[in-house]
A and B are shown apart, each in its own frame.
Chain A
Amino acid sequence: MIQQLSVFIENTPGRVNALFQGLSEQGINVHAFTIADTKDFGIARLICDTPKKACTKLRDAGFRVSLTDVAAIYVPDRPGGLGKLLKLTDQGAFDIQYAYCFSMPQNNEPYAIDVMRTDNIKGLEDLCVNAGFSIVPAKEIYKLD
């Protein structure tokens, strides 16, 4: 289980840029970024190396930020890799609210990390481990701040 930053962003020009400016000024490294948006606003979701610090700094800079627990699972970076995982979660009847991927090599092997949000993260992780997947430990993604 890792922590993701969820940032409220108004749909006005320059706001995403302002967000990244703010992060880089604090020396925060972003591994993954995705945005869910509507006509008026969006929610930017970020995986970064120091989530707690990023949360505090962004709040100070005037952003509305939430920290959200998500499951992060290694998926072989080849065709069908993610498909196998999704089939599994389907069978397990997990309500996946959203998911996204980013790649990060492990032991020089091409691996993708699939981030998934569900209400039962522990259950999802157990299911994945039993099926032979491995869970990304927090220390692999970020400095434990």
Chain B
Amino acid sequence: MFFQKAIETMPREQIAQLQSHRLVHQARRCFENIPFYRDAFNEKGITPEDIHSIEDIQKLPFTTKQDLRRAYPFKMFGIDRDKVVRIHCSSGTTGIATTVGYTQRDLDDWADCFARVIYAIGGGRHDILQNCFGYGLFTGGLGAHYGGTRAGCVVLPVSVGNTDRQVRLMHDFGTNILCCTPSYALVIADRARAMGYDPVEDFDISMGIMGSEPWSENLRQQIQTSLGIKAADIYGLSEIMGPGVAGECIAQDGLHIAEDHFYAEIVDPKTLAPVPDGHYGELVITTLTKECSPLLRYRTRDITRIIPGQCLCGRTFRRIDRIKGRSDDMLIIRGVNVFPSQIEQVITEMPDVSPFYQIVLTNDGELDRIELQVEPNEDFAFDEVSEIEGLRDKLGAELKKNLGIKVQIRIVEPRTIQRTTGKSHRIIDKRGENL
């Protein structure tokens, strides 16, 4: 099902033409209206006249979260203040929010983008959409709300929390589509069972649109079976636009980028050079149509890749893979990008080791060395050195297969590793220290 078939299935050459046309216009808007971009263009020695097509995008400067913080509150607005109809902002961990404004057209485009994802997962007019994303300055709630309205759904603006009521409404109203974070979907499913319902049998719900936190395929399967739904991943970020920048279709094989509004690049987070399709790197987004808060080459810090090839659903928009992690968490070991989440994944799939781990990075003068410390599980039965070695080698082989590099494994005694929920304590980087 398509919400805007002509756009979503546009031939690639036509998409490139449309993007080129819009980029030229957007570069000019940024240069003329936003001092930050005027300075950045000057620093690069370019003017809007140097931008003729989407091919020229690499000439443009990058934009970072820090740039947005410096522009607080409205210095990045690219349009007269009387055209602004909504402001969202993200509470930064550092305390300074990043502010993003919307014109009516920006909101309309956003609603279209979300509505496309509803259609792509099989939803549409008259479906009851229960929206459990939080309403407020956070973009999730209103993004799903206006997206649902645009798609012709009956929107239930319940927001987050009061799970008992969520379950009752879901049952009594016959909700068809659930919008929430993946972890909240599990909470709802658990609560429903505790209240005596079998969500698969007793509920009409058949679709989910979930996002705003990274989730694994395992978690998706769990959600799908416990609620009896098909769940689509949706991507968005407050700096660009809320949910709808990219979203999955019924094929569930990557998220189609709304390429009429956004141009995506994948770059090496260290060198900022583009990486080939299929390779992981940092997602960089240029907003092609946004009027109020246009951003050129915004570094999202999210790590993903472009999935090469055509999707079975018929959409021609390129797809990004599910977000693998944040570039801030990325380790570069012997030139290979490694995420703690990848290591975590391997560890959690090995029943004989406990989920606590520590990574120690060292450098012996030339080569980086990565050591992973793990504890055997309490019920791991062993009596021989070879059994411990076997466990170590099995883990090493799995990691080599998944990460592409050799990881030294040290099986350590229990309680050697600090019990902490934070990621920072799990990685000790001693590279650059004299050992």
Asked if residues A68 and B383 are in contact (CB atoms below 8 Å), the reply is yes
Q: By the criterion CB–CB under 8 Å, are B385 and A36 in contact?
A: yes
Q: Does A20 contact B (CB under 8 A)?
A: no
Do residues B413 and A97 form an inter-chain contact, with CB atoms below 8 A? no
Per the bound structure, the CA–CA distance linking A9 and B416 in Å amounts to 12
**In the complex, residue of chain A having the shortest beta-carbon distance to the beta carbon of B385:** A36
Who on chain A is nearest to B389 by CB? A38
Known: A10-B413, A15-B413, A64-B414. A41 touches B383 (CB 8 A): no
Closest to B354 in A: A64
State which of B53-61, B224-232, B374-382 sits at the interface with chain A.
Answer: B374-382
Residue in B closest to A5 when the chains form the complex, CB atoms: B383
Inter-chain contacts of A8 with B (CB < 8 A): 376, 382, 388, 411, 413
A29 sits at the interface (CB 8 A): no
Chain B residues near A64 (CB-CB < 8 A)? 375-376, 378, 380, 382, 413-414
Q: Note all chain A residues with C-beta closer than 8 A to B376.
A: 8, 64
Give every chain B residue within 8 A of A45 (Cβ-Cβ): 383
Tell me the nearest residue of chain B to A18, going by C-beta.
B413
C-alpha spacing A97/B410, complex, angstroms: 24
Quick check: A63 and B383 within 8 Å, CB to CB? no
Cα–Cα distance between A42 and B380 once the two chains are bound (Å): 16
Q: Is B412 an interface residue (CB 8 A)?
A: yes
Chain A residue contacts of B388, Cβ below 8 A: 8, 41, 43
Interface string of B359-378 (1 = CB under 8 A from A): 00000000000000001101
Q: Which residues of A contact B415 (CB under 8 A)?
A: 62
* Complex CA distance for A98 and B385, rounded to whole angstroms: 11
B413 touches A40 (CB 8 A): no
B384 within 8 A of A: yes
B414 touches A66 (CB 8 A): no
Q: How far is the CB of A63 from the nearest CB of chain B, in Å?
A: 7
A97 to B384, CA, bound (A): 9
Q: Is the CB of A43 within 8 A of B413?
A: no
Q: Say whether, besides A36-B384, A36-B385, A97-B384, A62 and B413 are in contact (CB < 8 Å).
A: yes
- Contact-size category for B: 10 to 19
Q: Are B385 and A62 in contact (CB under 8 A)?
A: no
| Minimal Cβ-Cβ distance residue in B for A45 | B383
List B residues 168-218 near A (Cβ within 8 Å).
none
Which of A38, A40, A63 has a CB less than 8 Å from the CB of B414?
A63
Q: Which of B384-417 contact A (CB under 8 A)?
A: 384-385, 388-389, 410-416
What are the residues of chain A within 8 A of B416 when measuring CB–CB?
A: 10
Residues of A within 8 A of B381 (CB): 66
The residue on B at minimum CB distance from A43 is B385
Residues of the A chain whose Cβ atoms lie less than 8 Å from the Cβ of B412: 10
Question: Complex: how many Å from CA A41 to CA B416?
Answer: 14
A66 to B413, CA, bound (A): 13
Residues of B within 8 A of A31 (CB): none
Alpha-carbon separation in the docked complex, A9 to B414 (Å): 10
Q: Which of A1-47 contact B (CB under 8 A)?
A: 4, 6, 8-10, 15, 36-38, 40-43, 45
What's the Cα separation between A61 and B381 when bound, in Å?
18
Q: Does A59 contact B (CB under 8 A)?
A: yes
Contact residues in A for B410 (Cβ distance below 8 Å): 40
Q: Could you tell me the distance between the alpha carbons of A38 and B392 in the complex, rounded to whole angstroms? A: 13
| Complex contacts, B389 vs chain A, CB 8 Å | 38
For B378, list chain A residues within 8 Å (CB).
Answer: 59, 64
Assembled-state Cα–Cα distance A97/B382 (Å): 13
CA distance A36 to B382 in the complex (A): 13
User: Is the pair B375, A6 in contact by a Cβ cutoff of 8 Å?
Assistant: no
Q: Distance in Å from the Cβ of B413 to the closest Cβ of chain A?
A: 5
B382 surroundings in chain A (CB, below 8 A): 6, 8, 43, 64, 66
A37 to B415, CA, bound (A): 21
Q: How far is the CA of A42 from the CA of B416 in the complex (A)?
A: 16
Which residue of chain B has the shortest Cβ distance to A10 in the bound complex?
A: B413
**CB of B385 to closest CB in A, whole Å:** 5
Which residue of chain B has its CB nearest to the CB of A97? B384
The answer to whether B414 and A6 touch across the interface, beta carbons within 8 angstroms, is no
CA distance A97 to B385 in the complex (A): 11
- Chain B contacts to A: CB under 8 angstroms: 375-376, 378, 380-385, 388-389, 410-416
Closest 4 CB pairs of A and B: A68-B383, A62-B415, A6-B383, A62-B414
Residues in A lying within 8 Å of B, measured CB to CB: 4, 6, 8-10, 15, 36-38, 40-43, 45, 59, 62-64, 66, 68, 97-98, 117
**Known contacts A41-B388, A43-B388, A64-B382; 13 further A-B pairs (Cβ under 8 A):** A8-B382, A8-B388, A41-B385, A42-B385, A43-B382, A62-B414, A63-B414, A64-B376, A64-B380, A64-B413, A64-B414, A66-B381, A97-B384
Q: 11 A-B Cβ contacts within 8 A? A: A8-B376, A8-B411, A15-B413, A36-B384, A36-B385, A37-B385, A40-B410, A41-B388, A66-B381, A66-B382, A66-B383
